[in-house]
Structure 1
Amino acid sequence: MTSFGDLLGPQPTLLPGDDEAESALLNHEAPETVAAAHPTASIAWAYLAEAALESGATITAYAYARTGYHRGLDQLRRNGWKGFGPVPYSHEPNRGFLRCVAVLAKAARDINEHDEYARCLDLLEDCDPKAAEALGLADRARASRARGRTRLKSGSARLKLSLLPIIQCALAAGVAWFVATDIVGHESPFFAPIAAVVSLGVSLGARLRRSAELVVGVTVGIGVGDLLISLIGSGPWQIALVVVLAMSAAVFLDGGPIIAMQAGSSAVLVATLIPPGNMGGPNRMVDALVGGLVGIAIVALIPTHPVWRARKDAASVLATAASVLQKVADGLVANDPKPIEEALRKARATQSGIDALRTDLKGGREIARISPMYWNHRNRLATLAATADPIDNAVRNIRVLARRSLTLVRDDEILDPRVVDEVEKLAHAVEVLRQMILADPGQKPDAAEAARVLRSVAAGAKPELISNAGLSATVVLAQLRSIIVDLLQVAGLKRISALATLPPTVEHPHVPPEL
């Protein structure tokens, strides 16, 4: 018998069991008595743990299960188990140990000890994939595996997204070392590849700025350090003084984090390792310059697409916005706060996506500026960059709409069904807008199609929908109209043109409506 299909894995561990304890339990002897007489028998502790858990004594169950678990581990190790490998549930004497692990998992879950719960599920999975189902943990085990797959999938997605920046950093480090040693002639230019990696990083935003800050920071740190150490000597208080002055000068010149950090570390280097007047300081400055320039050259020659990442960021935010609006509509239809509460949680979690959009837009502008391969993408990038503020504003207004919708449902306020229809139509319109963002030039839906769908929603956002309505219904419609204006700007309209699509709420509106 082999390890559940793994021909190279360890052989299954089959415990000999404790015949006397098992016989006593089968003859309905009290588990407490059996455990006292046979304290090494996991099966007795399993009986105690299961009974305690069923009666609601979770902590007692946890203690019994933990005891049986450790007794079982002792037996497994004495029988050749190395801490991993199959312990088949089908082998009856193994069940005492496995039942203790299952109760320990359930008790840990009930007291919110999530790490222990996950560890026990993993142990059951490793011992016998069928054990969790047999012991009433199948759904939980599947959920745990699903979470593991989700983490693996999200990790793979992050790696895929950052793979090119990682390759850029690796190439820049190697090229920077080559340039500094073989061309410049430095013997050990360790800081050149460091500077290349620091200036690039995995994030696409502000790479040019990082390179400039790094070079200036090193220059300031070495200049201040070399000057002062030659005058006052080296020692604890001298190092502290040099770091204060170097970092203060760097912050005075520029408020970026890298310039201050490099100024301080370079000043420490001069004060501790490089004698004043030695060429080590200037060489480090040259290495910093080499690393920064090589990093910029790598970005220019092997660039990431300036639009792709920002476009995905924008589409992701809009997908969340569409989902939030649909959940709000569902909650309003059913007069149920739960979908709206979930929608509000999702809406509040969008800020990181918006921040990522702005960062990737900044990085895209840098790439389009320094890489000849993407000079022709500048107009497209500018069009996408113009959507950042309206998307941000729309999401903020959606949060307000969700909050007020939640209040409306909790207060059991009367709401015209046509308002709910408007919210649902807007959710559909946002999905069209998301598809527009992802579409390549010439593909559908384009901006005109997205604007057409939004205009149809705007036409229905009439003030009569809230005739004799309460405050919450009025706010919901007002936010709906604000969101429409924001999203029409994402579709390419000017703000004044977007306002003109809305039915008037007063006799003489500031922006006359479209005819």
Structure 2
Amino acid sequence: MSLAAHDSHRVQRARALARDRIRTGYARSRSGTIAIARVAASAALAYGISHYAWGHQFPFFSAIAAYVVVGFTVEKKMRKMFEMSAGVLIGVLLGELARITIGSGVWQVAVVIFTAAMIARFIDSGVMFAMQCGIQSMLVMVMPASPMMSPGTRFVDAVTGVAVGIGVYLLLSGDPRKPQRRAADRFFTELEDALGALALAARSGDREVARAALKDLRHSSQRLTDQWALANDAADEVATYSPRGLRHADSVGRLERLLVGSDRAMRNARVLARNLIHFLGASPGVTYPSLADALIAGQEAVAALHAAAMDDDVDFTAARRLLRRFCGYLTPETLLVTADGTAPGRSAHFQGVTLVIQLRSLAIDLLQATGLEYDEAQRFLPSLLVAGDGDVIGPRPVTREMQALEPPATTEALEMLIVDRTDPDRRG
């Protein structure tokens, strides 16, 4: 590559990085507009109350306290908010006491910050609590006091800011389900895309497609789960403490419970992708259309769960119907059939049975995400018990009436699920 071409490549790469940063920054700013506006309004309101109602000339601690307490991140929690509130108040109080007793100066700043940090660590282990104690006490020490300030003026300002911040956070937090739905939307989109990619891998026999899906799941699945969990925590607190959020408490609870089964399903999808890679590797060049159809049915069921999470009523009826159809595929006899109608070889059959079991586990997780108990979810699955009648060996769909009569699986019957039944040695 020539020097000019190399420089051109570097310029193009720099432009692409700059575009990505601008696009990401714009999206981040746009998504936080309401929260940032709420912070600004809180600081201005607290400052106005102290200035006009209490008559304080420069009540900057009101604005600072309100800004610190409200914040603009989704993981805001009541415990954290009260920690920061207490840190602000204790820091301002210590600073005021220090100015009265030892005055302000270089060594006084060191003494008050050391004392504030030691007291904060004694009271609580929270890092934010200790930081607010130290920062606020230092600000009181270094900022000059106006002639109109009395010794307790800044403490009153801090109390005003904290009260306004807590009030604004609880009253103007909006619909607590919105952050949950945003997190659930990203989560289910990733899971749908993964199942679609795995279906394509089964239909084409291409291991690289499955490997790419596994890479994406490993990269983003845990992050998306953590984001949803944080959104659940924030929504639960708003629904518990905010007068406007109380009416959404039931929906918030359903979305919280939805994450439990959905998280397990996402973990199962990672294992499923890894097993599919091994399965396709054991039968190179072979395609499995029935397996692809099953994965598409699972993707459609996840899409129905996705739609239910976005709906106000969070109704899982449609999702359960699609999950019943998904479960209808989940036997080795249905899934482990190649495009030409033959069974895979012995090695691929063993890997395939592992894949079937993983798909059944995924179905159970998704059914439990809709609110079913484990025993109820199991009734959706066709039986894996086998019956031998001459040369006919296969699964039997289980009904409620049959459950009481279902014979126990013999060792030989279960073994036949694992060992390739086309093996002539097994017929002897």
Name the counterpart of 2:324: 455
Q: Deviations over 1:193-233 (max 9, x none)?
A: 12212222221333533431122113443556677888888
Name the counterpart of 2:407: none
SS of the residue 1:455 aligns to: helix
Name the counterpart of 2:416: none
Q: Does the CA-based 8 Å contact 2:50-2:59 persist in structure 1?
A: yes
Deviation of 1:176 (Å): 0.7
Task: Within 5 Å, give how 1:98-109 maps onto structure 2.
Answer: 103-106=5-8, 109=9
**Counterpart amino acid of 1:454?**
L
Task: Within 5 Å, give how 1:27-38 maps onto structure 2.
Answer: none
- Provide the rounded CA distance (Å) in 2 between the counterparts of 1:514 and 1:185: 77
SS of the residue 2:244 aligns to: helix
- Provide the rounded CA distance (Å) in 2 between the counterparts of 1:473 and 1:230: 78
Name the counterpart of 2:368: 489
**Counterpart amino acid of 1:392?**
D
Name the counterpart of 1:117: 12
Q: Deviations over 1:157-215 (max 9, x none)?
A: 43332221111111101101011222233332212212212222221333533431122
Q: Deviations over 1:14-70 (max 9, x none)?
A: xxxxxxxxxxxxxxxxxxxxxxxxxxxxxxxxxxxxxxxxxxxx2xx21xx3xxxxx
Q: Does the CA-based 8 Å contact 2:95-2:141 persist in structure 1?
A: yes
Name the counterpart of 1:436: 308
Name the counterpart of 1:167: 37
Going from structure 1 to structure 2, the CA distance change for 1:455 and 1:171 (only over 3 Å counts) comes to: same
Name the counterpart of 1:395: 266
Aligned pair count reads: 376
Name the counterpart of 1:213: 83
**Counterpart amino acid of 2:237?**
E
Matched, 1:200 2:70: yes
Name the counterpart of 2:195: 325
**Counterpart amino acid of 1:375?**
L
Q: Does the CA-based 8 Å contact 1:191-1:288 persist in structure 2?
A: yes
Which shows bigger deviation, 162-171 or 498-507? 498-507
Deviation of 1:269 (Å): 3.9
Matched, 1:178 2:57: no
Deviation of 1:105 (Å): 4.8
Going from structure 1 to structure 2, the CA distance change for 1:219 and 1:372 (only over 3 Å counts) comes to: closer
- Which residue, 354, 367, 373 being the options, matches 1:475? 354
Q: Does the CA-based 8 Å contact 1:311-1:437 persist in structure 2?
A: yes
Deviation of 1:318 (Å): 0.7
SS of the residue 2:197 aligns to: helix
Which shows bigger deviation, 334-343 or 492-501? 492-501
Q: Does the CA-based 8 Å contact 2:251-2:312 persist in structure 1?
A: no
Deviation of 1:343 (Å): 1.0
Name the counterpart of 2:294: 422
**Counterpart amino acid of 2:12?**
Y
Going from structure 1 to structure 2, the CA distance change for 1:193 and 1:495 (only over 3 Å counts) comes to: farther
Q: Deviations over 1:77-122 (max 9, x none)?
A: xxxxxxxxxxxxxxxxxxxxxxxxxx3554xx3xxx4xx3245xx6
Going from structure 1 to structure 2, the CA distance change for 1:220 and 1:297 (only over 3 Å counts) comes to: closer
State the Cα RMSD in Å: 3.5
**Counterpart amino acid of 2:233?**
K
- Provide the rounded CA distance (Å) in 2 between the counterparts of 1:163 and 1:400: 39
- Provide the rounded CA distance (Å) in 1 between the counterparts of 2:316 and 2:117: 49
- Provide the rounded CA distance (Å) in 2 between the counterparts of 1:280 and 1:339: 71
Matched, 1:353 2:224: yes
Matched, 1:306 2:185: no
Q: Does the CA-based 8 Å contact 2:205-2:288 persist in structure 1?
A: no
- Provide the rounded CA distance (Å) in 2 between the counterparts of 1:501 and 1:281: 71
Going from structure 1 to structure 2, the CA distance change for 1:415 and 1:336 (only over 3 Å counts) comes to: closer
- Provide the rounded CA distance (Å) in 2 between the counterparts of 1:408 and 1:463: 13
Q: Deviations over 1:417-443 (max 9, x none)?
A: 53333222211211121122122339x
TM superposition score normalised by structure 2: 0.75
- Provide the rounded CA distance (Å) in 2 between the counterparts of 1:118 and 1:395: 34
Name the counterpart of 1:405: 276
Deviation of 1:274 (Å): 7.8
Task: Within 5 Å, give how 1:1-16 maps onto structure 2.
Answer: none
Name the counterpart of 1:268: 138
- Provide the rounded CA distance (Å) in 2 between the counterparts of 1:226 and 1:174: 24
**Counterpart amino acid of 2:275?**
R
SS of the residue 1:460 aligns to: coil
- Provide the rounded CA distance (Å) in 2 between the counterparts of 1:177 and 1:248: 30
Deviation of 1:329 (Å): 1.6
SS of the residue 1:303 aligns to: coil
Task: Within 5 Å, give how 1:218-367 maps onto structure 2.
Answer: 218-222=88-92, 242-269=112-139, 282-348=152-218, 349-367=220-238
Deviation of 1:377 (Å): 1.1
Q: Does the CA-based 8 Å contact 2:74-2:179 persist in structure 1?
A: no
Going from structure 1 to structure 2, the CA distance change for 1:356 and 1:332 (only over 3 Å counts) comes to: same
- Provide the rounded CA distance (Å) in 2 between the counterparts of 1:419 and 1:506: 20
- Provide the rounded CA distance (Å) in 2 between the counterparts of 1:470 and 1:249: 66
- Provide the rounded CA distance (Å) in 2 between the counterparts of 1:514 and 1:243: 71
Please identify the structure whose Cα radius of gyration is greater.
1
Q: Which structure 2 segments of 5+ residues have no match?
A: 337-342, 387-396, 401-428
Deviation of 1:320 (Å): 0.9
Q: Does the CA-based 8 Å contact 1:310-1:360 persist in structure 2?
A: yes
